[in-house]
């Protein structure tokens, strides 16, 4: 279940650019995050990028980042920017699509 972490918690703010809007990328992110047990959120940005906050065990978060780069055939990711957020941070219990920014 998302949000149930046995070890340490990693929280990353990720932005992907390329062909990531209009191809079902956010919905696929929600499904993949649920499958991996990653919590957080995903949203479109006005500049055409997609931004996500990923939270979970380090291995889960790494797998989600790997998937975000090349796991969805309809998307073409040109670049990924990753920022690790230091505690304290809010704890999420699920992964959701949130309103665009």
Q: Which residues are catalytic?
A: 26, 44
Calpha distance 44→46 (Å, rounded): 7
Strand partners, 57: none
Please report, to the nearest 10 degrees, the dihedral formed by the alpha carbons of residues 31, 36, 42, 47 taken in order. -100
Structure tokens at 63: 């797998």
């Amino acid at each position: 279940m998302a949000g149930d972490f046995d070890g340490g918690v990693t929280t990353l703010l990720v932005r992907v650019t390329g062909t990531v809007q209009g191809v079902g990328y956010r919905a696929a992110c929600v499904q993949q995050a649920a499958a991996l047990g990653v919590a957080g959120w995903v949203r479109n940005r006005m500049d055409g990028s997609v931004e996500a906050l990923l939270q979970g065990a380090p291995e889960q978060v790494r797998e989600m980042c790997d998937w975000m780069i090349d796991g969805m055939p309809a998307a073409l990711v040109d670049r990924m920017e990753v920022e690790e957020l230091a505690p304290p941070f809010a704890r999420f219990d699920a992964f959701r699509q949130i309103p665009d920014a």
